[in-house]
Homo-oligomer: A and B are copies of this chain.
Amino acid sequence: MAHLAIEGVSKLFGTSFAVRDFSLEVGDGELVCLLGPSGSGKSTLLRMIGGFERPSGGTIRIDAKDVTTLPPERRPTGMVFQSHALWTHMDVFNNIAFGLKLRRLPKAEIRERVESALALVGLADYSRRMTTQLSGGQQQRVALARSLVLEPKILLLDEPFASLDQHLRERLREEVRDIQQRLGITTLFVTHGQDEALALADRIVVMRDGRTEQIAPPSTIYRQPQTAFVAGFIGSMNFVQGRTRNGVCEHPLFPLAIPIEDGPVTLAARPEALTIRPSDRAEAATVHRIVDFGTHKMVDVDLADGTRLKAMVAPDDRIRAGMRVEPRLASFFVFRDNELAHQSMPAAAKAEIEALQRV
């Protein structure tokens, strides 16, 4: 339970910045997800907070105390590594107990705490196993237990669920969320999965090339992406290139009113905001493929100019591959130079969403 303040932190490797002038405040008990493409500096940032890399510039404060130069063992942080990093010469129990032993807790208490940590991650009977006898998922959970048992003030998770199957992943994701909320641990969570970020995070930080693109709660990120990059990165998004002239988009299929200056624009719309209906128009699009996800179907639509769009339809929709269709945008964003220039939703809806976003 702590307040974390990162101010203007940079990290140079050789001559290239892995993290550049990064600032973020994380409140008590908040869970922040770091999202970004591979190589965007997420791990590096986490490692600087944990004390494993020294920032080339900037300061990191935990509860107002400057920890920028402290070694890892003197920071109140707990880290779960991308590559579990279990100690293979110890069994599960000792892996988890190691940190407690360092704190010279009485034996009985260590045993008790390790056992409850193991129970927490669903490995109650595994304490005497060697770590090499565990499957990848179990190893990851031991690594999690190892960090949690020390009740760190700040928990740092670097893609903890990367090697798990989807089911386990979803289950653990919820467990971590529950534990985190119960213990009120301030948490930073790196992930590759946007679903994970959307499901878990109080706020999401979208990173790109070591910088932040947007910091906002999940529903804001999803519904009001501030840049084209964020729009494309979180969830599925269709992009259509076009030009505006006199406030109207010149795209043959999407002659929308866009009240901004003339110039090139990128229209963006979620698959669920793209509706299609059969059509015989010359400019009509073609259905390329339909994928059934059970809960919905995803329809790939090829426009005349080759752009491929995705539309989400109900699982009982009768659309078929090869059909000629006309897509329409129910709601959309307009980006120019990566910046949000216009959004189709009325301001009222926006306010409503903000009210909804944390239930």
A219 at the interface (CB under 8 A from B): yes
The residue in chain B whose Cβ has the minimal distance to the Cβ of A323 is: B359
Contact A167 B199 (CB under 8 A): no
Within 8 A of B (CB), among A177-225: 192-195, 198-199, 218-219, 222-223
Checking B233, B270, B271, B316 against A167 with a beta-carbon cut-off of 8 angstroms, the contacting residue is B233
A165 at the interface (CB under 8 A from B): yes
Contact A199 B137 (CB under 8 A): no
A292 at the interface (CB under 8 A from B): yes
Checking B163, B198, B271, B318 against A293 with a beta-carbon cut-off of 8 angstroms, the contacting residue is B198
Q: State A218–B297 Cα separation when bound (angstroms).
A: 12
The residue in chain B whose Cβ has the minimal distance to the Cβ of A355 is: B318
Chain A's interface size range is: 35 or more
The residue in chain B whose Cβ has the minimal distance to the Cβ of A272 is: B295
Q: State A93–B309 Cα separation when bound (angstroms).
A: 33
Q: State A64–B193 Cα separation when bound (angstroms).
A: 42
Report A108-143 CB contacts with B as 1/0, cut-off 8 Å. Answer: 000000000000000000000000000111100000
Contact B320 A359 (CB under 8 A): yes
Within 8 A of B (CB), among A217-244: 218-219, 222-223, 232-236
Q: State A165–B39 Cα separation when bound (angstroms).
A: 11
Q: State A298–B38 Cα separation when bound (angstroms).
A: 28
Q: State A200–B322 Cα separation when bound (angstroms).
A: 19
Within 8 A of B (CB), among A275-330: 289-296, 298, 312, 316, 318-321
Q: State A234–B136 Cα separation when bound (angstroms).
A: 20
Collect the chain B residues with CB atoms within 8 Å of residue A356's CB: 292, 316, 318
Most chain-B CB neighbours within 10 Å: which of A271, A291, A357?
Answer: A291
Contact B320 A294 (CB under 8 A): no
Checking B164, B167, B223, B291 against A294 with a beta-carbon cut-off of 8 angstroms, the contacting residue is B223
Q: State A167–B356 Cα separation when bound (angstroms).
A: 27
Contact B38 A165 (CB under 8 A): yes
A166 at the interface (CB under 8 A from B): yes
A260 at the interface (CB under 8 A from B): no
Collect the chain B residues with CB atoms within 8 Å of residue A223's CB: 294
Checking B138, B168, B359 against A321 with a beta-carbon cut-off of 8 angstroms, the contacting residue is B359
A162 at the interface (CB under 8 A from B): yes
Instruction: Give A contacts to B, CB under 8 Å.
Output: 37-39, 135-138, 162-168, 170, 192-195, 198-199, 218-219, 222-223, 232-236, 270-272, 289-296, 298, 312, 316, 318-321, 356-357, 359
